[in-house]
Amino acid sequence: MIKAVTGTKDILPSDIPRWIYLEKTVETVFSNFNYKEIRTPIFEETALFARGIGEETDIVGKEMYTFKDRSDSSLTLKPEMTAAVVRAYLEHSLGAQHSLVKLFYMSPMFRQERPQAGRFRQFHQFGAEAIGSKSPLLDVEMIQIAYEILKSLGLKNLTVKINSLGTSETRENYKNLLKKFLQDKKDKLSEDSRRRFETNILRIFDSKVESDQKIIKDAPKLVDHLDEESKADFEVVKNQLAKFEIPFENDPALVRGLDYYTKLTFEIDSGSVGAQTALCGGGRYDLLIETLGGKPTPATGFAAGIERILLACENEKSFTVSEPAIDIYLVRIDDELESFVSELAGKLRKENLSVDCDYLQRSVKAQMREANKLNAKYVLFIGGDEYKEGLLKLKNMSDSLEKILPLEKIHELISTIKK
Ligand code: AMP
């Protein structure tokens, strides 16, 4: 039997109510902050991600689902949204209509990572990109939105970590400092980190190897070498977070290796999801729009992983959703009324009621069992002596009270059910 591809997951009908609850929460919070939804294609030209995420990253280097189509174009299933949103922003000149464009999305993403709990090859993210302002208050808005969504989902065990990466000049100077510091310790670093020493030294901070961590812990910190503007912006972020009563930690090891990331970077972790603790990550990327061919435009954003958030919610039992129920199940007592029952179901559905009936010639008892399984609020019995007299029997399943109604008074029945 063919199975789902490793690292992908079916979202079954029983999972859907929790997904919908999350999606509605996300939509409400984004609407409160005046973000408009954007949907981009599942695949893009490979060059977009190579340039927009960076050749040196794990995503581009090792994890992308890249393929040639029949016209020999190199295409890639999107591994993240920022590059795609910026592409759409530039292609449709969205900045010409509004000088600050605030967008949100929910979409599947694809990365060929090693699957484990909370890490998939097809997973879903929601997130935001706000393009056109360099205000640090907009960076705070990103954290606020993410935090508010997670809180609205009832999550408690959260840690907000922040850092500032400064401008690209600051970072160049800092990289030299870091190089000097690591020069005589280089041989003790792991192979990966030795490679990063040459290609992208900041990413040594991402190393999970304990001996690397020991060495890097005493390294000079980027946050202590910021330019004046970045320093001032970082202070604004911290003060504003305090005003919003969002607790945060400074994490000097929170770095992004690419030159177009600037100033604020943040992550929100959960203590309830095992090894993969990050629920969401984001920050400012003032130089990306230029990298993708636009004119210099400051921007900030974040992305959050839906599967991981739902896992945290499940582990914390942070919210419950009620079992989906149908309004009414039609129980057919006489076999020859099959067609009449289906006709009546049609009429009731036109009244916006959720209705089901039997298509398997089941006994009355089996039909009742089905009605219970479906959590039907009402059951309508059709047939027997009552039907011959033009009557129907309606049973309220919550209190078992029964009511006899003449067939022509179907509207009374509808209003009873809708109440
Ligand atoms: P990133 O785009 O790598 O900054 O990731 C943002 C968020 O997406 C992370 O904090 C995770 O919650 C989620 N995420 C990233 N990669 C995966 C994955 N392979 N499987 C599930 N969730 C992921």
pLDDT at 21: 97
Residue 278 CB less than 6 A away from ligand 1: yes
308 pocket-lining for ligand 1 (C-beta < 6 Å):
yes
Q: In angstroms, what is the span from residue 296 Cα to ligand 1's centroid?
A: 28
Distance 98 CA to ligand 1 centre (A): 30
Distance 280 CA to ligand 1 centre (A): 7
Taking CA atoms only, the protein residue closest to ligand 1 atom 20 is: 119
The predicted structure's pLDDT at residue 54: 82
Q: How far is the CA of 305 from the centre of ligand 1 (A)?
A: 5
Which pLDDT score, from 0 to 100, does residue 257 have? 64
Is residue 119 within 6 Å of ligand 1 at its C-beta?
yes
C-alpha 170/C-alpha 172 separation (Å) is: 6
User: What is the structure's pLDDT at 324?
Assistant: 84
Which ligand 1 atom lies nearest to the CA of residue 282?
4
Is 111 near ligand 1, meaning CB less than 6 Å away? yes
pLDDT one digit per residue (tens) for the chain, 419 residues:
999 999 999 999 999 999 999 999 999 999 999 999 999 999 999 999 998 888 777 888 889 999 999 999 999 999 999 999 999 999 999 999 899 999 999 999 999 999 888 899 999 999 999 999 999 999 999 999 999 999 999 999 899 999 999 998 898 899 999 999 999 998 999 998 998 898 888 888 888 888 998 999 899 999 899 999 999 999 999 999 999 999 999 998 898 766 788 999 999 999 999 888 899 999 999 999 999 999 999 999 999 999 999 999 999 999 999 888 999 999 999 999 999 999 999 999 999 999 999 999 999 999 999 999 999 999 999 999 999 999 999 999 999 999 999 988 888 888 888 87
Mutation pick for ligand 1 pocket among 62, 119, 155, 206 (CB with most ligand atoms within 8 Å): 119
CA of 364 to the centre of ligand 1 (A): 50
- Considering the entire predicted model, what is its pTM? 0.92
Distance (Å) from CA 328 to ligand 1 centroid: 42
Residue with CA nearest ligand 1 atom 10: 280
Helix residue spans in 351-408 (DSSP H)? 364-373, 384-388
Q: Is the CB of 268 under 6 A from ligand 1?
A: no
Answer whether 301 contacts ligand 1 (Cβ < 6 A): no
Q: Give the distance (Å) from ligand 1 centre to CA of residue 320.
A: 24
Per-residue model confidence (pLDDT) at position 279: 97
Ligand 1 atom with the shortest distance to the CA of 278: 10
Q: Residue 120: CB within 6 Å of ligand 1?
A: yes
| Distance in angstroms (rounded) separating the CA atoms of residues 7 and 212 | 29
Please report the pLDDT score of residue 158 as a whole number.
96
Tell me, using a 6 A CB cutoff, whether residue 63 lines ligand 1.
Answer: no
| CA pair distance 294, 94, nearest whole angstrom | 12
Order the strands of the 66-68 sheet from edge to edge: 43-45, 74-77, 66-68
Mutate which of 78, 109, 272, 306 for ligand 1 pocket (most atoms within 8 A of beta carbon): 109
Q: Closest Cα partner for 104 from 294, 255, 288, 300? A: 300
Residue 149 CA to residue 15 CA, distance in Å, equals 19
What is residue 85's predicted lDDT score, i.e. its pLDDT?
A: 98
* pLDDT at res. 116: 87
Q: Is the CB of 125 under 6 A from ligand 1?
A: yes
